[in-house]
Amino acid sequence: MRKFTFLRKKIEAKDRALQENLVQKYFDELELGKEADASDFDRNAVYSRITDQIDAMPAYKNNVKKRWIAAASVIAVIVTAGLLYQNKNQVMDVVSPIAQKELTTGGKQVASFTLSDGTKVWLNGDSKMSYPETFRGDKREIIITGEAFLEVAHDDKMPFIVRTGDVRTQVLGTSFNVKAYPEESFVKVDVATGKVGVIAPANKTVFLTPRQEVLFDKKTRVATIAENVDITALAGWKEGNFIVKNMPLAEVLSVIQRRFGVQVKADSNLAQCSITANFTNVSLQNVMKIVAKLVKGKAVQSTDGNSYKLTGKGC
């Protein structure tokens, strides 16, 4: 910090030291120099303005206390300005709030949408996306319930964050599929291009590259990574396809329920079965016949046609 020359009334050295220490204390506590969004805040200029205004105050022999009260007021104003600068995005959110919007889809519907930054989003059936009308500050953040595929517009200065319950997926610019239906026991992220960071409770950040997948179990809080995932098949729902590769039976049945609007229950001994098949453009009845055959059992339809019971020997 620069030394000061005194051209006005004589001030004892201990008084000047007290002034400088007081002002420096305020700045040290604020730590403005360490804040990323305060890079344009001129620390020295603000300091000079404070001390210049204190110097300009008349120094009466018996009125030192009043002068220090006024000095403290000047410091408080400047400190408040610094705090507002540090938190300018929060201030702007109050002064000029950004509208929050939602996009929802029905069970058999797939919707596509482009966010204000150019990011493209495909939303699968029975899903919801909450997003701001425009992005402000140092990050871009949305909330997904259900399933979505994203092609994120690259921006080094504004990471893109997708929140799915307790799991947070963060990228700079990449494409990936995220699946997080409330009724399912997991949150799953699969990467098509680029690099993705997935942060889940009680887990270290998991970094994924193309054809990698992380599955976070909501109950056990365990994250499992899979390699060589067929992302084209997995995200084929964007084009209306229904392709599964080594997918757990419970997950397949959930897709059937959303896609066809029916209820499907299976015997507990089938829980370990996995399915690989292409059900694109296949009717519900035939889908159920194929699944029943793969689990070495049968699918019984209810009399009203709104549900199925799947039984079998198991896999």
CA 311 from centroid of its chain's CA atoms:
40
Alpha-carbon gap, residue 219 to 167, rounded angstroms? 13
Tell me how far apart the alpha carbons of residues 114 and 100 are, in angstroms, rounded to a whole number: 15
Nearest to 85, CA basis, from 140, 36, 157, 158: 36
Blockwise average pLDDT, block size 10, the chain, 315 residues = 42 50 50 45 58 59 57 57 55 69 93 97 97 94 98 95 96 95 96 96 92 96 95 95 96 95 94 94 96 94 92 85
Between the alpha carbon of residue 188 and those of residues 160, 165, 234, the distances in Å are 17, 12, 11
Distance CA 67, CA 54 (A): 8
- Domains within the chain, CATH numbers bracketed: 13-94 (no CATH), 100-232 (2.60.120.1440), 242-312 (3.55.50.30)
- Span 158-184, pLDDT tens digits: 999 999 999 999 998 899 999 999 999
| Cα–Cα distance measured from residue 257 to residue 72, given in angstroms and rounded to the nearest whole number | 67
The confidence score (pLDDT) of residue 305 equals 84
Closest CA to 152 of 118, 122, 178, 123: 118
Task: Give pLDDT, residue 59.
Answer: 56
What are the backbone angles phi and psi of residue 124, rounded to the nearest 5°? -80, 175
CB atoms within 10 A of CB 73: 11
The confidence score (pLDDT) of residue 88 equals 52
Chain centroid, CA 181 distance in Å? 16
CA distance 116 to 190: 24
- pLDDT, residue 38, reads 46
Cβ count near 12 (within 10 Å): 8
DSSP 234-295: HTGGGGT--EEEEEEHHHHHHHHHHHHT-EEEE-GGGTT-EEEEE-TT--HHHHHHHHHHHT
**The pLDDT of residue 108:** 86
